[in-house]
Amino acid sequence: MHKSLIFFVALCVPMAASAYCIEFANNSGSEKWKGCYDERICYCVANVQTGTIRGIDGGNIKLFSSSDCTGNYDILGSNSKVSNAQWVNSVSFGKSGIPSVGPWGCPNWYA
């Protein structure tokens, strides 16, 4: 009985602790920035050269032309990559079905 309970807990802990991640890279790939959170986040990337955006177990990823994760969006797969993403000004990623938190300004994430 105790072995079963320990095994069950061991299986559940990694799933509960997993984070959703996304990576941005400039056009040449020389600058990269990666963010990981365990909640749904909105990043403003209007001041960042977004040559590529890649989900790394990113959950439900939405790409917006607005700078505050509102309006129309395109969907990027959880482990997919989009190139020529200069049109993207904000990104929402994480668990589906909950509202995003942020953005907290529009910094240059590479700086």
Q: What is the CATH number of the domain that holds 30?
A: 2.60.20.10
pLDDT of residue 5: 36
> Has residue 49 got a pLDDT over 70?
yes
What percentage of the chain exceeds 90 in pLDDT?
70
Residue at 4 is within a domain = no
pLDDT of residue 82: 96
State which H helix or E strand residue 21 sits in: strand 20-25
Q: What is the pLDDT of residues 65-103, one digit of tens each?
A: 999 999 999 999 999 999 999 999 999 999 988 899 999
Residue at 24 is within a domain = yes
What's the mean pLDDT when you consider all of the chain? Answer: 85
Distance (Å, whole) CA 87 – CA 103 = 17
Question: CB of 41 within 8 A of CB of 93?
Answer: yes
Counting Cβ atoms within 10 Å, is residue 63 exposed (0-12), middle (13-18) or buried (19+)?
A: buried
Question: CB of 48 within 8 A of CB of 24?
Answer: yes
Q: What's the pLDDT band for 32 if we cut at 50, 70, 90?
A: very high
Residue at 71 is within a domain = yes
pLDDT of residue 107: 86
Q: How many domains does the chain have?
A: 1
Could you tell me which of 22, 59, 26, 57 has the C-alpha nearest to residue 43?
22
